[in-house]
Amino acid sequence: MAEPVRWEREPHTAAKHRVLRAYIDGWIPVMARLTLKQQERLRGEPRVLLVDGFAGPGRYRGGEPGSPLIMLEALLDHRDFGELADVGFRFFFVEQHPERFQALRDEIAGLGDLPANVEVSLRCQPFAEAFDEVVTEAEQDVPTFAVIDPFGFSQAPLSVTGRLFDLPRSEALYFLPLTHLARFVDHDDLEAVYTSLYRGEDWRQARALSGDERKLFLLRLFEEQLEKNRHVEYVRSFQLRTLRGHDYRLVFAVGHEKGLVLAKDAMWKVDPVAGTSFVATTAAGQEVLFSSRHVDTGPLLKELRARFGTEWFTVRQAERCTLEDTPFRLAHLRKMTLRPALKEGTLISEPPDARALDASVRLRFTS
């Protein structure tokens, strides 16, 4: 029997997939238990929907699993899966390339019989055509997480995918090839693509810019368009900077604070891989390199100082600043940032001997 066709995996894909796995690990129990609590008002059985709009071949040349298999394994291997037998999990995988689709179908079939509460739906068609079915199910108040990772940026315009965020409890992870977006923005034959991608003509302003300024404008515009959607509360981007000089962005669009916490936790759980680093900035422009080997919380302390100056603020306010204005996790705040600053005298607390640093404890920078 002929060997199956295998596709090469891009160097940055490993990092991207590890972030996806870390996020799904946290998302599954949160959304599954939420739908169980709200079962009485749901139509039919409590269920969640996980979508991969550009699913790929399922497995790559080196044997590495693609995103559909990663999503399925995250559920089936989850320590809480046995407690979620009353929740229906539907996976909706779309792949328009016939050969990649056949490879994906073979990989799914190779998993054997799935648990009764797990359903996999496969579609060999462009994502834009399959999207109506996704929206129809999400409209039934089904928590939905979508991976939007096209092989080309022309295939996932916000004019299509943005409809998902008009519905509650819908979240997504976008993969944005920012280097390519900036490179081709001057091409007249792609004007319709950019207008559809950005849901308007504002992208044209990028043509007057160059270098990093152009890339930053296109990224910010993409984020702003996501934020305009009714049920998107937070948009956070993380950079994948490769040795080849390419700039890719992982963009989370989530509807609640817990989703933002999960997105950050996912990023910090992933070490840099060969040729790739994870970069983000605080609201004040402090660059942060993601690494679990050594966490420099200096930029977090600087952001808190920029926000509060020498005015009193509570630990809860510091948490909000950490969560909303920096890429740091809440776990980085008390022990790794506030405690050392109190010990050094950079911060003072009220009461002075506050040890637990409860949310109501007040703090102030000394200068």
- Domain of 46, CATH number, reads 3.40.50
Residues 213 and 306 in one domain: no
Is residue 8 very low, low, confident or very high in pLDDT (cuts 50, 70, 90)? Answer: low
Stated pTM of the model = 0.84
| Dihedral pair phi/psi, residue 280, rounded to 5° | -150, 170
Is residue 265 very low, low, confident or very high in pLDDT (cuts 50, 70, 90)? Answer: confident
Please provide the average confidence, as pLDDT, over all residues in the chain: 85
R_g of the chain computed on alpha carbons:
22
Total domains in the chain come to: 2
Sequence-distant (6+) residues with CB within 8 A of 181 are 153, 215, 218
Residues 39 and 78 in one domain: yes
Q: Which residues pair with 172 in a beta bridge?
A: 146, 253
In a domain, 2, yes or no: no
Cα–Cα distance measured from residue 281 to residue 323, given in angstroms and rounded to the nearest whole number: 12
In a domain, 164, yes or no: yes
Residues 265 and 318 in one domain: no
Four-point Cα dihedral 258, 262, 264, 267, nearest 10: -170
In a domain, 337, yes or no: yes
How confident is the model over 303-319, as pLDDT tens digits? Answer: 999 999 999 999 999 99
Percent of residues, the chain, with pLDDT higher than 70: 86
Q: What is the predicted pLDDT for the residue at 293?
A: 64
How confident is the model over 108-147, as pLDDT tens digits? Answer: 999 999 999 999 999 999 888 888 888 888 777 788 999 9
In a domain, 332, yes or no: yes
| Pairing of β 313-314 and β 287-290 | unpaired
How confident is the model over 222-244, as pLDDT tens digits? Answer: 999 999 888 899 998 888 776 56
Of the three residues 251, 281, 311, the one that is the final residue of a domain is 281
**Residue 93 burial by CB count (10 A; 0-12/13-18/19+): exposed, middle or buried?**
buried
Q: What is the predicted pLDDT for the residue at 208?
A: 97
pLDDT of 3 > 50? The answer is no
Residues 321 and 266 in one domain: no
| Pairing of β 234-242 and β 247-254 | antiparallel
In a domain, 6, yes or no: no
> Tell me, what amino acid is at 310?
T
Q: Verify cis geometry, omega within 30 degrees of 0, for the bond prior to 351.
A: yes
Four-point Cα dihedral 11, 16, 17, 20, nearest 10: 180
Of the three residues 281, 315, 338, the one that is the final residue of a domain is 281
- Residue environment code for 231-243, b if the CB has 16+ CB neighbours within 10 A, otherwise e: bbebbbbbbbbbe
Cα–Cα distance measured from residue 219 to residue 286, given in angstroms and rounded to the nearest whole number: 17
Is residue 79 very low, low, confident or very high in pLDDT (cuts 50, 70, 90)? Answer: very high
Is residue 162 very low, low, confident or very high in pLDDT (cuts 50, 70, 90)? Answer: confident
pLDDT of 2 > 50? The answer is no
Residues 275 and 304 in one domain: no
| Pairing of β 287-290 and β 247-254 | unpaired
pLDDT of 70 > 90? The answer is yes
The DSSP line for 182-227 is HHHTT-GGGHHHHHHHTTSSGGGGGGG--HHHHHHHHHHHHHHHHH
Residues 276 and 320 in one domain: no
- Give the domain extent around 338: 298-365
Q: What is the predicted pLDDT for the residue at 27?
A: 92
Residues 119 and 34 in one domain: yes
- The continuous run of DSSP H or E covering 348 comes out as strand 347-350
Q: Which two tokens stand for residue 103?
A: 């490879």
Residues 144 and 253 in one domain: yes
In a domain, 175, yes or no: yes
Least confident residue range of 69-78, 181-190, 254-263, 349-358: 349-358
Cα–Cα distance measured from residue 172 to residue 253, given in angstroms and rounded to the nearest whole number: 5
**Residue 358 burial by CB count (10 A; 0-12/13-18/19+): exposed, middle or buried?**
exposed
Taking a C-beta distance cutoff of 8 angstroms, is the pair 246, 12 a contact?
yes
How confident is the model over 171-219, as pLDDT tens digits? Answer: 999 888 888 899 999 999 999 888 888 888 999 999 999 999 999 999 9
Q: Which two tokens stand for residue 146?
A: 């979508």
Residues 252 and 309 in one domain: no
Angle between helices 298-308 and 315-325 (to 10 degrees): 110
pLDDT of 33 > 80? The answer is yes
In a domain, 218, yes or no: yes
